[in-house]
């Protein structure tokens, strides 16, 4: 009879080597290296494009809190999306703790060859379970943006692909569709 597997805990996240991003999903510790420059550039560019008009209301509607790599505690799980956003009424004040226990309204994961399968098959379903409404998957190598919405009517709260964008044209992806941004900003420097 095989030995019972010991479930990982938050202590395992805290004790992970500092040069790795550690996440805890369904009792399994997952670690990955820090992102490559194209990955970081895409995440920073998303924040630079939507942060001022949607987060601060500078030239846009405001009403959001947008954060890079927040540590989310969703039940017993610990996830670190590349970018996440909350409608301000759901997160009116940033917590003093190093983590946030309120599921975001929107997450953005930047795919890389080493994490694409994990982001799609492990993290996205967990975000849906937690009640996240919108998800973006950005592939800076393929230069694509996939936009998903969670359909609570589907069993397991599945994601529905709303659009896939590529090229350099201005885009209006939900939930930030009030203002366009240049898709090419996500991969250019």
Region 154-179 average pLDDT: 89
Give CATH superfamily name and number for 35-186. Answer: tt1808, chain A (3.90.1570.10)
A 10 A CB-CB count for 157 gives: 17
Beta strand pairing status for 134-139 and 106-110?
parallel
Q: Which residues pair with 20 in a beta bridge?
A: 33
Cα–Cα dist 186/161, whole Å: 20
DSSP 130: H
Which secondary-structure segment (H or E) carries 29?
strand 28-33
Indicate the pLDDT class of residue 159, thresholds 50, 70 and 90: very high
pLDDT tens profile 31-84: 999 888 999 999 999 999 999 999 989 999 999 999 999 999 999 999 999 999
Give Dmax (Cα) for the chain: 63
Indicate the pLDDT class of residue 168, thresholds 50, 70 and 90: confident
Cα–Cα dist 143/116, whole Å: 14
Asked if residue 178 has pLDDT above 80, the reply is yes
DSSP 26: T
Region 163-174 average pLDDT: 92
């Amino acid at each position: 009879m095989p030995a019972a597997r010991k479930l990982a805990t938050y202590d395992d996240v805290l004790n992970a080597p500092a040069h790795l991003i550690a996440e805890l999903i369904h009792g399994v510790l997952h670690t990955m290296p820090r992102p490559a420059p194209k990955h970081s550039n895409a995440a920073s560019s998303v924040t630079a494009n939507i942060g001022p008009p949607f987060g601060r209301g500078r030239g846009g509607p405001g009403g959001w809190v947008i954060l890079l790599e927040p540590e989310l505690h969703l039940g017993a799980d610990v996830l670190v999306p590349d970018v996440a956003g909350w409608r301000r009424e759901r997160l009116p004040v940033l917590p003093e703790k190093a983590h946030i226990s309120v599921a975001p309204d929107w997450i953005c994961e930047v795919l890389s060859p080493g994490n694409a399968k994990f982001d799609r098959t492990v993290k996205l379903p967990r975000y849906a379970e937690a009640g996240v409404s919108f998800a973006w998957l950005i592939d800076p190598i393929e230069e694509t943006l996939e936009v998903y919405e969670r359909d609570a009517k589907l069993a397991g709260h599945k994601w529905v692909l709303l659009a896939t964008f590529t090229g350099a044209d201005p885009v209006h992806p939900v939930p930030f569709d009030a203002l366009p941004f240049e898709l090419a900003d996500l991969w250019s420097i």
